[in-house]
Amino acid sequence: MVRYAVDCIRNIVFAGHGAVGKTTLADRMLYKAGKNTRPGCPDDGTSLLDTDDDEKERKHSVTSHLAHFDHNGCRVNLIDSPGYPDFIGHTISGLDAVETAVIVISATSGIEANTRRAFQLAEEASKARMVVINKCDGENIDLPALLGNLHELFGTHCALMNAPNGTGNRFTAVISALDPPANAPAGLPVDLAHAHQELIDAAVEADEALMEKYLSGVSLESEELSRAMVHAIADGALIPIFFMAAKKDIGVAEFMDALVAYAPSPIPLPLKAKQNGQDLVIEPLPDGPVVARVFKTRIDPFVSRMSFARLYSGTLKKDASLKNERSGKMLKAHQMLDVQGAQHEALSEAGPGELVVLVKADDLRTGDLLTSGIDGLATRPFTFPIPMIALAVEPKSQADQQKISGALHKIEDEDPTFTVSREEQTHEMVMHGMSELHLQLVRNRLHNREKVDVIVHTPRVPYHETVTTSAEGSYRHKKQSGGAGQFAEVHLRISPCPQGVNPEEYFTSERFTSLRHYHYDPAHNFCFIDRVTGGSVPNQFIPAVEKGVRERLEKGVLAGCQVQDVVVELFFGKDHPVDSNENAFKTAARMCFKEVFLKARPALLEPIVHLDITIPQAKLGDITSDLNSRRGRMEGMDNAPGGMTVVKAHAPLSEVTTYARSLSSMTGGQGSFTMEFSHYETVPPQEQQKIIAAAKVAEDEV
């Protein structure tokens, strides 16, 4: 027997910009529902939801939190997501677990950068949307302008569910636009009759039969109008707007009533999936196959690994066996929890529509699909933004050396927009996040939770070295110090290797006559060719020559960078019957490569990245000018919703390592960008001299 009937469950996520009062509203609702003895508040550290040390210190959320309450016979599951763009990953995953996104806006600040983004994410995920305009008791509120912006950016489907009786100190109550009083108070900041008409029009628009009845002049019953509103909100044809001042408890009760009455249950918005490539709708049936998805991971120091999951179908019981569709492995739900902020209690079973936590399932990751009684199931994968800000990280002490990798990977499991990798060329461990603040919080978490302190610095840019023409030369290695000596002579030719060559055709063409054999390395576009004739270099020493060349490739010649796009031909040499050995030929090859490389007009190559920069249209000139100063090239632009423009450009990686900070400054925090590797290009001579000089200084210091 499941705890809650599916039609009595409401799953919502609070989303929007930072400092608009999402957590304050959630705390107030929990208090009014009897889940707390006092209305918590992030500002004084009493919030039931902001429980992490970083959240209490900064007075804002840095991760999503789960809570629940009962109201008017319904169970409301609430996910409070952080509002700053640095933590947008938690909003994305939270949206996946709910039917309704509540976009909270500050009446004093208006529509901000993350407001637009949260609204767009909810629309793309096909979620029902509601808008809460909070802080209506603030000063200098231009309500008509704010409502005009809402309609312009989010569409004409936005309609007032209620209206404030005033703004600032005059705001003391909200008045229903659905059932307006016969005599509306004077001096309302909105036209209540017009708001009522807009609301009814939006509600009946999604129901053709009801629309015909309404247009024919027949009065609508309140029950059929209520059903129409639920359908219209679920369908996106109606986006209701509510006014409140959560901190003063104005409009909160009315919002809670409307949430239960009009927010869709899981029934009208079932999970859309694919089974063996065929479309399938997973209905929320208690006796159906178990289908659940992990939307959040938390490594709790006391409870161990916690996997927050949304149950879409079936009844999940304690100790039930589940299949992880990602790994194909089976796991047991040994322990299930019902979570309320930082508090939790054990569950024996849960039904469709519920949000539960599975404990100590170490194989689970955010986004994993869990099933029982159904095979070959797949759902739309999470799409998280690529973290753009990078810092090289190393342990502060030898004692932290063994712990740092495991500690960083724990955070990587928890945070879908944080990654850590080891760069092969620079040999650095690099962590990537959404912003400098994001990575600072990672460092705080390493210190506070994992007891690991780290040193960070800007990662080294992975420059490459190459040649632009052909050259040849020789080197004789001769060493005699009593007893057996060392002798080897190597003759090499170095030439450029074009990108995208077909090795079987290119290296056997006429330009490489008398070729005996070759080894091609596609990772570095490097080829070593054996063209020795007459046994001038004995066969047993040729592998040593190649090994010596490869060692020099790794260390570079100009600035200590990996060499790529070169062909090295061994065509002559000399040996000594007694003093020649593998080490001698390896040394000769290294030195010969260095000398010939410098003759072949060497050049540095730098990584070029592709940028998609989303900015307000008014900032286009500033962005273009800044890109030019960074040696960037604009490739085009596209229009985006909400008066935004997407600029497409290429730029050297070295010029955009701190671009996030500059973009935020130029756009007032409204700009964002994605970046991915494109290709390598030759560094301009003036820049090349600076890089080589810096590398020489660093080498001298070592």
> Domain containing 654: what range?
606-692
Distance CA 282, CA 614 (A): 36
Taking Cα atoms as reference points, which of 509, 507, 510 lies closest to residue 518? 507
| Model pLDDT, residue 482 | 65
CATH number where 627 lies: 3.30.70.240
Burial track 597-616 (b if 16+ CB lie within 10 A, e otherwise): beebebbbbbbbbebbbbbb
Domain count, the chain: 5
Give the count of alpha carbons within 13 A of 70, CB side only. Answer: 4
Say yes or no: 124 and 220 in one domain. yes
CATH of the domain at 401: 3.30.70.870
643 in a domain, yes or no?
Answer: yes
- Rounded mean pLDDT of 528-534? 92
Task: Identify whether residues 346 and 434 lie together within a single domain.
Answer: no
Q: What CATH number is attached to the domain comprising 362?
A: 2.40.30.10
Of the pLDDT bands very low, low, confident and very high (cuts 50, 70, 90), residue 480 is confident
Percentage above 70 pLDDT, the chain: 99
Q: What pLDDT score does 483 carry?
A: 66
Looking at the fold, whether 481 and 398 belong to one and the same domain comes out as no
Residue 41's pLDDT is 87
> Does residue 701 have a pLDDT over 80?
no
Which string of DSSP letters, residue by residue, matches 203-260? HHHT-HHHHHHHHTTPPPPHHHHHHHHHHHHHHTS-EEEEE-BGGGTBSHHHHHHHHH
Residue 524 and residue 556 in one domain: yes
Give the pLDDT confidence score for residue 283 in this predicted structure.
96
Quick check: 64 and 83 in contact, CB under 8 A? no
- What are the C-alpha distances in Å from 699 to residues 392, 535, 672, 692, 702? 19, 39, 37, 10, 5
Residue found by looking up tokens 């290009």 in the block = 681
User: Within a domain: residue 701?
Assistant: no
Question: Contact at 8 Å (CB) between 366 and 295?
Answer: yes
Shared domain check, 165 and 257: yes
Mean pLDDT of 386-393: 86
Q: Which two tokens stand for residue 515?
A: 């070729």
Q: What is the pLDDT of residues 591-634, one digit of tens each?
A: 999 999 999 999 999 999 999 898 988 999 999 999 999 999 99
Residue 675: its pLDDT value, please? 79
**pLDDT confidence bin for 369, thresholds 50/70/90:** very high
Single residue among 231, 262, 293 that ends a domain in this structure: 262
Q: Is 702 within the bounds of a domain?
A: no
Judge whether 631 lies within some domain. Answer: yes
Note whether 373 and 394 are same-domain residues. no
Q: Return the CATH number at 131.
A: 3.40.50.300
Token pair of 231, please? 């359908």
Q: Which of 96-105, 334-343, 421-430 has the highest mean pLDDT?
A: 96-105
Are the beta carbons of 635 and 612 closer than 8 angstroms? no
| Structural domain contains residue 697 | no
Greatest mean pLDDT range, 502-511, 536-545, 670-679: 536-545
Going by DSSP bridges, is the β-strand pair 304-313/355-359 parallel, antiparallel, or unpaired?
antiparallel
**What does the pLDDT read at residue 700?**
67
For the cut 80, the answer to whether the pLDDT of residue 424 exceeds it is no
Residue 702: pLDDT over 60 = no
Q: Give the C-alpha separation, 114 to 90, whole Å.
A: 13
CATH of the domain at 513: 3.30.230.10
Compute CA 43 distance to the chain's CA centroid, rounded to the nearest angstrom: 28
Specify if 637 maps to a domain.
Answer: yes
- In contact, 263 and 127? CB cutoff 8 Å: no
Confidence of residue 302 (pLDDT cuts 50, 70, 90): confident
pTM: 0.80
Q: Are residues 112 and 173 in the same domain?
A: yes
Mean pLDDT (whole number) for 475-491: 87
How much of the chain exceeds pLDDT 90, in percent? 65
The closest alpha carbon to 26, from 80, 98, 76, 72, belongs to 80
3-state secondary structure of 654: helix
Last residue of a domain, one of 553, 585, 600: 600
Are 173 and 192 part of one and the same domain?
yes
Q: Between 247 and 1, whose confidence is greater?
A: 247
Mapping DSSP to helix (H, G, I), strand (E, B) and coil, where does residue 155 land?
coil
At residue 436, the pLDDT reads: 84
Residues 255 and 129 in one domain: yes
Residues 364 and 469 in one domain: no
Task: Single out the residue of 330, 334, 425 nearest to residue 372, CA to CA.
Answer: 330
* Percent of residues in the chain assigned helix, strand, coil, to nearest 5: 30, 30, 35
How does pLDDT run across 148-163, given as a tens digit for each residue?
A: 999 988 888 999 999 9
Q: Return d(Cα 16, Cα 11) in angstroms, integer.
A: 17
Confidence grade of residue 125 (pLDDT, cut at 50, 70, 90): very high
37 found inside a domain = yes
Q: Which two tokens stand for residue 412?
A: 């990587």
Q: Considering 411, 434, 457, which residue would you say is the last residue of a domain?
A: 457
298 shares a domain with 207: no
Whether 573 shows a pLDDT value over 60: the answer reads yes
**What is the rounded CA–CA span in Å between residue 486 and residue 266?**
80
Tell whether 156 is covered by a domain: yes
What per-residue confidence (pLDDT) applies to 641?
65
Same domain, 41 and 131: yes
- Average pLDDT score over the chain: 91
100 CB-near residues (< 8 Å, 6+ apart): 10, 11, 12, 13, 127, 128, 129, 130, 233, 259, 263, 264
H runs (alpha helix) in 13-52: 22-32
Beta strands in 451-544 (DSSP E): 454-457, 464-467, 471-479, 486-496, 517-521, 526-530
Mean pLDDT for 298-326 is 92
Q: What average pLDDT score do residues 498-504 get?
A: 87
